[in-house]
Structure 1
Amino acid sequence: MRGDDSGVVSARRLFDDICERNVVAWNTLLKGYVRCGDINGARRVFDEMPQRNVVSWMTMISGCAQNGMCKQALSLFNEMRRARVGLDQVALVAALSACAELGDLKLGM
């Protein structure tokens, strides 16, 4: 992990003690990992999630794109589309940013 990861470690311990976890709790933990720059940890949380919403997907896509993992961001974006999760402006901007970073104009179109 990068940055100060002691907060996310403590958050994970508290999260693990929650009896009934909802999508908001999962998204909060996911965002913590992304903020620390631990995209691999975030992906593990994302993969564990029993239910995802647009916030879950966008947190992962944005986190990947912002941390130089543009191919992974686009892969997640495509997976999100296949899962028929509603796309919004944030999703499209994140995907276009990843395309721009990769220099893939055709894919962006």
Structure 2
Amino acid sequence: MADENRLDVQVETQEQTIIVRPVGDIDLACSPTLRSELMRVQGERFVRIVVDLSAVPYMDSSGVATLVEAMQIALRNGTRLVLCGLQDRVRSIFEIARLDSVFTIAGSQEDALTV
């Protein structure tokens, strides 16, 4: 499990989809870890990247910026980036910033694999 200064990022491949699962808070100290992993998987040219945020209880603006950058790169590469499993606190950040209308957001990882 992640501590306050560390973000664990698990990566799993399912056919043409890569699932990135950060575990822990995503803040200024930890967002570079997520960014590094998202940039690495972008180079592998999957059809879909699913970012499963079900184990992320908190995200600050640096985490949001990391996901926006990943989405922009995915669009340029012709890859679909899907977020799933947003906890209420994280979901509210996306809603307040109106990013819920910009990102594709699925309720669960299973749902994310079909959009």
Q: TM-score, normalised by structure 2?
A: 0.37
Which structure has the greater CA radius of gyration? 1
Higher helix share: 1
Higher strand share: 2
Q: TM-score, normalised by structure 1?
A: 0.38
